[in-house]
Structure 1
């Protein structure tokens, strides 16, 4: 028998959180291992319980978006799904930029949410269809956007060191982070800059510095 997918739900609205937990508990193959109401709770739950999928609200004490980067810095393979009322494109883009694997609106039904969780646990990504269509539409008129804007402060720091010729191992030592964490940051950097290797990333970084000097 396949092991149940472990979940944690972090939302500062008790009634909503309890409803989600109750609904998902009734779904076959899903197991709730933790719940909380703030960014600090999310960090603690991720570190202590290591759920297969962590459901986070955006609007909660400490900030859901802020929690994403902090969690992934410590646990790079943690799968995070935002469950929120926010349909703002900026929030969607920020969540995906920071590393969330899914973005779901709170109007979703329990069965659909369970299917999304199973899909994300299997390694897929998900964005609510209405939001995905909007992002594609808006993206069509924003081809001039500088991809370096999408990098987090940590990713810029890692890219700068990588461009200086340091290996993942040495970057990790310099920043006091695990080599696996640096590898995760490099993967994110490649994806955001549209490059496939360190050399291309370094060249893009140098070109960007040159543009800023002009």
Structure 2
């Protein structure tokens, strides 16, 4: 199955370079390019790609606004691009619905891998970005509107809440399975139930939900 991609970046050389790298893969096709957020949204609406590779800072409409529109209107997965891993917009981009984050100096192999991972429905979040996300809750959470109340967690079983806590700590399914002394298949079921019951797109939004509801706290342990 071919992964259809739209590449959006206001720097032509970056956009063209990423497009060439991705188009060279036998299972990836770049169906359109865009040089601002508005064009990116229009391209997604027209071509219905699997993945939108989206620069976070662009003219006309920035990547955060574009990501929010695309994630609300389509099933297209959004993979954000930025120059710095401590970009002030990391939290907002992920909260808008982005499924992953890559630095613009990403290696060729990691770019291709990132697109494939996000297209497969998984999230892509580097450790440095996870730390930034948690730091946001520590220093600025009082000024953030909470979109998921703690009472919503009542729909989760005890095991599902435990799974959500471990997701927030960045544990993989294998690590969660080891900690809970269950099979990876059972963990996958718990993760799927958490996402479905809370109406979340992926593990990235699960991390956000865990901290917003107070189920997980910076520096805390399960």
TM-score scaled by length of structure 1: 0.65
Distance 1:42 1:17 in 2: 12
What's the counterpart of residue 12 of structure 1?
Answer: 10
Q: Does 1:149 align with 2:136?
A: no
Distance 1:7 1:78 in 2: 9
Taking a change above 3 Å as real, the CA distance of residues 109 and 122 of structure 1, as seen in their structure-2 partners, is same
Q: Where does structure 2 lack aligned partners over 5 or more consecutive residues?
A: 153-195, 214-222
The match for 1:43 among 34, 41, 55 is 41
Distance 1:93 1:107 in 2: 20
Measured after TM superposition, the shift of residue 87 of structure 1 is 2.6
- Bigger-Rg structure (1/2): 1
Q: What stretches of structure 1 move > 6 A for 4+ residues in a row?
A: none
What's the counterpart of residue 59 of structure 1?
Answer: 57
Q: Where does structure 1 lack aligned partners over 5 or more consecutive residues?
A: 160-183, 196-200, 202-214
TM-score scaled by length of structure 2: 0.63
Distance 2:48 2:140 in 1: 39
Taking a change above 3 Å as real, the CA distance of residues 150 and 81 of structure 1, as seen in their structure-2 partners, is farther
Aligned residues: 163
What's the counterpart of residue 129 of structure 1?
Answer: 127
